[in-house]
Amino acid sequence: MAEVGEKRPATIHQVASLAGVSHTTVSRYLQDKDSLKPKTRVKVDFAIKTLDYRPNLVARSMRTRRTNRIAIVLPSGPHSPGRLLSAASETAHQAGYQVEIVSIEGGPRARAARVDELARSGQVEGILSISSIDVRGKKSWNVPIVVSGNYDDELRGLGELADASEIREIIEHLAGLGHRTFLHVAGAQTFASARSRKQVYLETIERLGLRSFAAIDGDWSAQSGFDAMAGLPSDSGVTAVVAGNDVVAMGVIRGARSRGWDVPRDLSVFGWDDYEIARFATPSLSTVAVDREAQGREAIHRLLAEIRGEPVPEPARGTINRVIFRESTAPPPAAVSGR
Amino acid sequence: MAEVGEKRPATIHQVASLAGVSHTTVSRYLQDKDSLKPKTRVKVDFAIKTLDYRPNLVARSMRTRRTNRIAIVLPSGPHSPGRLLSAASETAHQAGYQVEIVSIEGGPRARAARVDELARSGQVEGILSISSIDVRGKKSWNVPIVVSGNYDDELRGLGELADASEIREIIEHLAGLGHRTFLHVAGAQTFASARSRKQVYLETIERLGLRSFAAIDGDWSAQSGFDAMAGLPSDSGVTAVVAGNDVVAMGVIRGARSRGWDVPRDLSVFGWDDYEIARFATPSLSTVAVDREAQGREAIHRLLAEIRGEPVPEPARGTINRVIFRESTAPPPAAVSGR
DNA sequence: CTGAAAGCGCTTACAG
DNA sequence: CTGAAAGCGCTTACAG
């Protein structure tokens, strides 16, 4: 066991006194070493080392009115923001910002209220929300806010970082294999990403003259995928399922199996997220790889640009997501594709 | 687009002036409404509402020398701390603490250096590290630190929250089914959880007079599980594999399949983490369910106790982890169990 | 190149 | 029950 906080940290005055200069000079040293003449610099340098001095950042914040702190709002849902978070936090640190985490329970409105409060707390200079928030009725925020994975545009500094356009590519590919009748097991519709995937699914089906047996609203769970298959009529004609994500897709595969349908022989299944675990499942899952780290970095870059009043960089579309074809997709059964 | 921060937030002086009282009184109101006489209270109340006043927390921190902020150090590894993080952050908020995230790249020593710096920054009152950190050589910290999932004990306020004792239960169960020769594909040995699982594995094998063909050090990846099976001699005699976690286990299963071995007919496989996705895989994975939220809450409770100088609650052993038997485990092939 | 002074927005003894 | 004063540890014009 080590000891705990007996000694107060040294202050700028103690450093100044030991160095034989004014505390103004020490502060100046902190801002820009070169503004002191070498002899003075050496004295201050020595005093700082001797006392192991670290500036009190709270006092500095108070004086400068800058906190160098941004908040990241975590989703309360089933998503694991680990990698995005690490990358975002790393990027922010490099830019000299601390990252504060706020986890918000409750629905979009409750979250919006909390974000509102946060924005006005004076504690943070910007906010990155990983969950979608309901911003209707909110007129003004005093700090920039970036929402990752949200199509709403009533929000200042909105960066659209999720993109469902890969759904189009998936359906085109499946149609090319001969599939005609599709099923979509969507994620929770409170999530912008789920809504947009569903929307692109429906549009693409329509545009290509295909048939959607149904677009079922799920809740991102494997169970929702399983249930969708359990409830599917034998004569639905569905030969391809586009699931909201990998977890749902695994439920779909298991559900299909429980109906006696083999994947991919009788049914093709697509996920989203490229979980390592689904890559090693049997059959390995066709999916969309999402570069969470790039997403996190990009979100922070956008936020920092907002904070600094610089032009906001365009999100680099198309580089973050990548469709991956694996064993869970194949041509439809001959009987079906031939009719 | 909403507007951004033109107007400065109201100060305590403005409130005082509008209410016709001293700012001291307003401050007192903030601390304890009941210490004012009703008439005064109403005036202050009105002024605060009118000006939409929020106390400047940076100034308050400066004065009180309390930041009400704790830091959580994220692992840089493959783990997804999502749920633990949410629960920890939620718990901290309820206790009036803000949570700051620090993501640290690099090895245990680099992380220890960063934690050291953090502890001395005066910005946080306590630190929860989700990754293991190398604390050798560090004598004293001026804030309490709790490490979740680490057996080291040189650290002040160490809370041992990971517990590998379920490995014992797993092996006993498998032995009861008739298994005699085991293989362990461990997680990265830089993680305390991986080290302790491996240790309990070896001890239990020894104690029960069983045989361990090998304990392979992996890196938590599915590939490491796959490779372990790819490299296993045909005559190894192994009929049961204890994997470091679910991801590794899925790699093991896939690898076994590539060797023509069926799970669980030829080989039983155990994971750790109870990922939803592995529950719906075929075969569904036997595993250990970890209550991440309880883990997060408990870690914060311990940390808060340290901060407040209260007695530190004993971690509630046995309630956090639960062994779950599913399709990936079964008796060994007759030929083997009979010999 | 350096120092004395003011002030950031609060809280907390100390008087009254 | 309320107010005047001091001070938390810095930074930043302003002088010199």
The 10s digit of each residue's pLDDT in B145-170 is 777 753 333 333 333 445 788 999 99
Amino acid whose CA is nearest the C1' of C11: B63
pLDDT of residue B200: 94
Is B327 part of any domain? Answer: no
Domain region containing B219? 161-290
pLDDT of residue B159: 38
pLDDT of residue B10: 85
* Record: contact B279-A4, CB cut-off 8 A: no
pLDDT of residue A196: 85
| Mean of pLDDT values over A308-333 | 83
Quick count: other Cβ atoms within 10 Å of Cβ B213? 16
Give the integer Cα–Cα distance in Å for A253 and A222. 9
pLDDT of residue B55: 85
Give the integer Cα–Cα distance in Å for B317 and A335. 57
Q: Do residues B192 and B277 both lie within one domain?
A: yes
Tell how many helices (H) and how many strands (E) occur in chain B. Answer: 13, 10
B142 touches A4 (CB < 8 A): yes
**Nucleotides in chain C near protein beta carbons (<7 Å):** 1-5, 7-13
- CA(A304)–C1'(C5) in Å? 35
In which band, very low, low, confident or very high, does the pLDDT at B104 lie, cut at 50, 70 and 90?
Answer: low
pTM, two decimal places: 0.75
Is B186 part of any domain? Answer: yes
Q: Do residues A128 and A172 both lie within one domain?
A: no
- Cα A48 vs. chain centroid, distance in angstroms? 41
Give the integer Cα–Cα distance in Å for B12 and B14. 5
Q: Per residue in B302-332, pLDDT tens?
A: 888 877 777 777 766 556 789 999 999 999 9
Amino acid, single-letter form, for residue A314: E
What is the SS3 assignment for A18?
A: helix
B190 touches B108 (CB < 8 A): yes
pLDDT of residue A283: 97
In which band, very low, low, confident or very high, does the pLDDT at A107 lie, cut at 50, 70 and 90?
Answer: low
Q: Which residues of B touch A9 (CB under 8 A)?
A: 120, 122, 142
In which band, very low, low, confident or very high, does the pLDDT at B112 lie, cut at 50, 70 and 90?
Answer: confident
Give the integer Cα–Cα distance in Å for B10 and B48. 9
Is B334 part of any domain? Answer: no
Evaluate if residue B141 carries a pLDDT over 70: no
Q: Which residues of A touch B282 (CB under 8 A)?
A: 253-254, 257, 281-282
Q: Do residues A171 and A118 both lie within one domain?
A: no
Is B7 part of any domain? Answer: no
Give the integer Cα–Cα distance in Å for B298 and B159. 9
| Mean of pLDDT values over A199-208 | 96
Q: Which residues of B touch A218 (CB under 8 A)?
A: none
Evaluate if residue A157 carries a pLDDT over 50: no
Look at residues B84, B69, B83 and name the one whose alpha carbon lies nearest to residue B298.
Answer: B84
Rounded to the nearest 10 degrees, the angle between the axes of helix A57-64 and helix B57-64 is 140
pLDDT of residue A228: 98
Could you tell me which residues come within 8 angstroms of residue A145 by beta carbon, excluding any fewer than 6 positions away?
A: A115, A119, A126, A127, A128, A129, A155, A156, A157, A158
| Mean of pLDDT values over B228-235 | 97
- CA(A23)–C1'(C5) in Å? 12
User: Could you give the angle at the alpha carbon of A222 between the alpha carbons of A221 and A223, nearest 5°?
Assistant: 85
Return chain B residues 39..58 having CB < 7 Å to nucleic acid strand C: 53, 55-56
Q: Do residues B209 and B245 both lie within one domain?
A: yes
User: Could you give the angle at the alpha carbon of B169 between the alpha carbons of B333 and B322, nearest 5°?
Assistant: 115
Question: What are the structure tokens assigned to A239, written together?
Answer: 């030969």
Which of A155, A180, A202 is the C-terminal boundary of a domain? A155
Q: Which residues of A touch B98 (CB under 8 A)?
A: 100, 123
**Between the ranges A15-24, B103-112, B132-141, B233-242, where is the mean pLDDT highest?**
B233-242
Which of B247, B266, B290 is the C-terminal boundary of a domain? B290
In which band, very low, low, confident or very high, does the pLDDT at B213 lie, cut at 50, 70 and 90?
Answer: very high
Q: How far is B11 from chain A (nearest CA, A)?
A: 12
Could you tell me which residues come within 8 angstroms of residue B299 by beta carbon, excluding any fewer than 6 positions away?
A: B84, B88, B128, B146, B148, B159, B161
Q: Per residue in B41-98, pLDDT tens?
A: 898 989 998 888 888 888 888 888 777 777 777 655 445 566 677 777 778 877 777 7
Is B137 part of any domain? Answer: yes
What is the SS3 assignment for A125?
A: coil
A337 touches A331 (CB < 8 A): yes
Choose between B297 and A205: higher pLDDT: A205
B271 touches B250 (CB < 8 A): yes
Is A306 part of any domain? Answer: no
Element (H, E) at B42: helix B38-51
Q: Do residues B178 and B261 both lie within one domain?
A: yes
Mean pLDDT of chain B: 81
Could you tell me which residues come within 8 angstroms of residue B332 by beta carbon, excluding any fewer than 6 positions away?
A: B177, B178, B179, B180, B239, B240, B268
Give the integer Cα–Cα distance in Å for A244 and A272. 6
In which band, very low, low, confident or very high, does the pLDDT at B3 lie, cut at 50, 70 and 90?
Answer: very low
Q: How far is A175 from chain B (nearest CA, A)?
A: 27
Is A330 part of any domain? Answer: no
Which of B131, B155, B179 is the C-terminal boundary of a domain? B155
* Record: contact B5-A156, CB cut-off 8 A: no
Q: How far is A258 from chain B (nearest CA, A)?
A: 11
By the 10 Å C-beta count (0-12 exposed, 13-18 middle, 19+ buried), A243 is classed as buried
Least confident of A131-140, A255-264, B153-162: B153-162
Domain count, chain A: 3
Nearest residue in B to A82, CA atom: B80
pLDDT of residue A299: 79
| HSE-CB for B206 with a 13 A CA cutoff | 7
Q: Is the CB atom of residue A40 positioned under 7 angstroms from any atom of strand C?
A: yes
Q: How far apart are the first and last CA of chain B?
A: 75
pLDDT of residue A167: 95
| Mean of pLDDT values over A176-200 | 90
pLDDT of residue A233: 97
In which band, very low, low, confident or very high, does the pLDDT at B179 lie, cut at 50, 70 and 90?
Answer: very high
Q: What percent of chain A has pLDDT over 70?
A: 78
pLDDT of residue A315: 65
**Nucleotides in chain D near protein beta carbons (<7 Å):** 1-5, 7-13
Quick count: other Cβ atoms within 10 Å of Cβ A52? 10
Q: Which residues of A touch B1 (CB under 8 A)?
A: 156
Q: Do residues B20 and B104 both lie within one domain?
A: no
Give the integer Cα–Cα distance in Å for A173 and A179. 9
Evaluate if residue A86 carries a pLDDT over 60: yes
Q: Do residues B182 and B72 both lie within one domain?
A: no
Q: Do residues A166 and A280 both lie within one domain?
A: yes
Quick count: other Cβ atoms within 10 Å of Cβ B82? 21
Which whole-number Å values give the CA distances from A97 to A58, B87, B152, B218, B255, in the listed order?
14, 24, 31, 35, 44
* Record: contact B140-A79, CB cut-off 8 A: no
Q: Where are the beta strands (DSSP E) in A13-81?
A: 69-74
Q: Do residues B172 and B276 both lie within one domain?
A: yes
Q: Do residues B145 and B39 both lie within one domain?
A: no
| Mean of pLDDT values over B108-136 | 68
Give the integer Cα–Cα distance in Å for B179 and B172. 9
Q: Per residue in B11-29, pLDDT tens?
A: 899 999 999 998 999 999 9
- CA(B310)–C1'(C15) in Å? 36
Nearest residue in A to B306, CA atom: A4
Give the integer Cα–Cα distance in Å for A24 and A12. 9
Q: What percent of chain A has pLDDT over 90?
A: 41
- CA(A224)–C1'(D7) in Å? 61
Evaluate if residue B102 carries a pLDDT over 50: yes
Q: Do residues B165 and B150 both lie within one domain?
A: no
Q: What percent of chain B has pLDDT over 70?
A: 78
Mean pLDDT of chain A: 81
Element (H, E) at B324: strand B321-324
Q: Which nucleotide shows the minimum CA-to-C1' distance to residue B61?
A: C10
Amino acid, single-letter form, for residue B247: V
Choose between A337 and A157: higher pLDDT: A337
Is B272 part of any domain? Answer: yes
Q: Which residues of A144-156 are buried (b: 16+ CB within 10 A; e: fewer)?
A: bbbbbbbbbeebb
Quick count: other Cβ atoms within 10 Å of Cβ B165? 13
What is the SS3 assignment for A311?
A: coil
In which band, very low, low, confident or very high, does the pLDDT at B298 lie, cut at 50, 70 and 90?
Answer: confident
pLDDT of residue B57: 80
Q: Do residues A46 and A82 both lie within one domain?
A: no
Say which CATH number the domain at B259 has.
3.40.50.2300
- CA(A54)–C1'(C14) in Å? 33
